[in-house]
Amino acid sequence: MRANPFTDALFQLVQSLEKSEKRHFKLYITRSSAKEDLKIIQLFDAMDKLPEYDEKVLLKKLSPITKPQLANLKTHLYKQLLAGLRLLKTAENIDLQLSEQLDYARVLYNKGLKIQALKILEKAKEFAKANHKFNYLAQVISLEKKIETLHITRSSGEKTELLAAEALEISQHIDSVVKLSNLALLMYRWFIRNGHARNEEDEKDIKTYFKQNLPPNAHSVTDWYERLYLYQSYCWYAFIRQDWLMYYRNSKKWIALFEEQPLMIGVEPGHYVKGMHNLLNAHFDLRNFDQFDRTLRKYQEYAKTDIANTHDNFRVHTFVYISAARLNQHLMQGTFKEGLKLVAEMERDLDKYSLYVDTHRILVFNYKFATLYFGAGDYSTSIDYLQKIMNVTVPDLRIDLQCYARLLHLMAHYELGNFEIMESLSKSVYRFMAKMKNLTVVEEEMFRFLRNSFDISPRKLKPEFEKFLHKIKHLEKNRFETRAFAYLDVISWVESKVYEVPMGDIIHKKYLESKRRIKERAEAAAK
């Protein structure tokens, strides 16, 4: 039976390698030229050429190797690949460099060369401090203390007192970072599972949880990592609560940390690309059109730098976030048909990077593609993308997205005039959203309108749309209702029916009007 190509860890690793990494591995492994190593080169070459993992094909290529022998060879190859990559990537990664220095110090210490070990540790300590790597600093100081405690090193009393004080300070710092990073992680996890706060009960729960887990001294922290995790925690807290202004301010502080210390972009590229993604989202949510465009251009320039392309993981995430932003640009400008020109290219890239892109990201892209097709009037293709979301069976993954995919799916069938299935479909979607506790006032009104409009002739439908618009227009600024408008611009859809113009034209007109007002305010402020 043919296995899923992405369930075999070794196959994943081999397929992820670039040409330079493959070449380096061959040079690394052939230096020893042991008989076992020559066999793993054969295995490596065979796996490299496989389009997907198939153990039967592999055994035929490596005959007379048996299945138990293959398992041992795969384990050996996996370890050797990691060892080779570690050697190749050490210069590119500060964590690996610090680990290497610690390893050298331990080797020298075990050889009895205590003073040499201490010299290396002293250099490693300065390197760790310069890059805010306090976890490694704790390990360095721990080994220093061990040497000073067990041996006569002729160190001064002042140095040992300083070492003890440093150890205490680092311990307190790590404790603070752990608490803040835990809070950021748990806030993010809450959003991935539940999406935005749905009602006053969610709001109360998230506020209580946040306050209980926020360290008492959180707002007096000064270290780079402490501030990073503090701003991240507030970002997710604000995003969940749909407090877009707080979300924007903390996203901006997040990126300001990197602007204050540009070297940290190379140290923590993952946090930088995520921060830029959040800042773009904040501009999108607040409809800061000009700032969105400037931030996107800056992000695209960063994507061309050597730092952005050093690591596979962060290069792919940069592509994902920039692609999402480019789609958002068309969604908020109403240029749906222009946005559709990006879909085929993005799908090819997502397929190419499928090893690295998680299910959550794929769901988001499919929803954005579906929304573009809906806005462009291609409702059948929109349904195709929505079905991909609705067919995902991963539990507790973006419940909100699952709900809105079903609502948009219902609206697409409405637009296609599939009224024979509308009643049963609307009941099904309503039950799903009610079960997930995901119904807002806007959605309640949407279902009420759809149910009442099945039997109304097209000639009499316009006044019903006008009534529907009147009911939901005032909810546009309600924080618990903005979630519905963020996922789908329901108001613009209804206005397109009332004014009998394409939905894209309605949104684009609002975009131009908003740009005009911003320009007028800027000119007035300059006078």
> In this predicted structure, what is the pLDDT of residue 4?
44
> In this predicted structure, what is the pLDDT of residue 75?
92
Same domain, 86 and 112: no
pLDDT at 40 over 50: yes
Same domain, 14 and 77: yes
Same domain, 76 and 20: yes
Where does the pLDDT of residue 32 fall: very low under 50, low under 70, confident under 90, or very high at 90 and above?
low
Count Cβ neighbours within 10 Å for each residue of 128-137 and write b for 16 or more, e otherwise: beebbbbbbb
Residue 169, token pair as written in the block: 């300070």
Kindly state the average pLDDT of the residues 390-413.
83
Query: Does residue 85 form part of some domain?
Result: yes
Kindly state the average pLDDT of the residues 168-190.
91
Domain count along the chain: 2
Kindly state the average pLDDT of the residues 497-501.
91
Question: Residue 144: CB partners within 8 Å, gap ≥ 6?
Answer: 118, 121, 125, 163
- For 68, the domain range is 9-91
Query: Does residue 520 form part of some domain?
Result: no
Same domain, 112 and 141: yes
What does the alpha-carbon distance between residue 172 and residue 486 come to, in Å, rounded to a whole number? 41
Q: Which of 174-183, 490-499, 506-515, 518-527 has the lowest mean pLDDT?
A: 518-527
What does the alpha-carbon distance between residue 421 and residue 414 come to, in Å, rounded to a whole number? 9
Cα distances from 371 to residues 239, 407, 486, 493, in angstroms, run: 21, 12, 11, 12
> In this predicted structure, what is the pLDDT of residue 200?
82
pLDDT at 110 over 80: yes
Tell me how crowded residue 302 is: count the other CB atoms within 10 A of its CB. Answer: 17
Where does the pLDDT of residue 1 fall: very low under 50, low under 70, confident under 90, or very high at 90 and above?
very low
DSSP 106-137: HHHHHTT-HHHHHHHHHHHHHHHHHTT-HHHH
Same domain, 15 and 85: yes
Which runs of consecutive H residues, i.e. helices, occur in 51-196?
A: 55-61, 67-89, 94-110, 114-130, 134-150, 157-194
Distance of CA 268 to the CA centre of its chain: 14
Query: Does residue 124 form part of some domain?
Result: yes
What integer best gives the mean pLDDT of the chain?
A: 87
Q: Which of 37-46, 113-122, 306-315, 434-443 has the lowest mean pLDDT?
A: 434-443
Of the chain, the percentage scoring pLDDT greater than 90 comes to 46
Query: Does residue 216 form part of some domain?
Result: no
Query: Comparing C-alpha atoms, which of 292, 342, 290 is closest to residue 512?
Result: 290
Query: Does residue 368 form part of some domain?
Result: no
pLDDT at 430 over 80: yes
Q: How many residues does the chain have?
A: 527
Cβ(193)–Cβ(228) below 8 Å: no
Q: Which comes out higher in pLDDT, residue 400 or 238?
A: 238
Q: Which of 34-38, 217-221, 441-445, 490-494 has the lowest mean pLDDT?
A: 34-38
What does the alpha-carbon distance between residue 36 and residue 22 come to, in Å, rounded to a whole number? 18
Kindly state the average pLDDT of the residues 283-289.
91
Domain boundary residue, one of 137, 155, 173: 155
What does the alpha-carbon distance between residue 329 and residue 82 come to, in Å, rounded to a whole number? 40
Kindly state the average pLDDT of the residues 434-460.
75
> In this predicted structure, what is the pLDDT of residue 438?
63
Number of H helices, E strands in the chain: 27, 0
Domain boundary residue, one of 91, 116, 137: 91
Cβ(5)–Cβ(53) below 8 Å: yes
- Dihedral over Cα of 332, 337, 338, 339: its sign: positive
Count Cβ neighbours within 10 Å for each residue of 50-83 and write b for 16 or more, e otherwise: beebbbeebbeebeebeeeeeeebbeebeebbee
End-to-end Cα distance, the chain: 75
Same domain, 64 and 112: no
Domain boundary residue, one of 131, 155, 179: 155
What does the alpha-carbon distance between residue 361 and residue 321 come to, in Å, rounded to a whole number? 9
Query: Does residue 80 form part of some domain?
Result: yes
Query: Comparing C-alpha atoms, which of 168, 245, 253, 264 is closest to residue 219?
Result: 253
Query: Does residue 42 form part of some domain?
Result: yes
Same domain, 81 and 14: yes
Same domain, 103 and 86: no
Query: Does residue 337 form part of some domain?
Result: no
Same domain, 83 and 41: yes
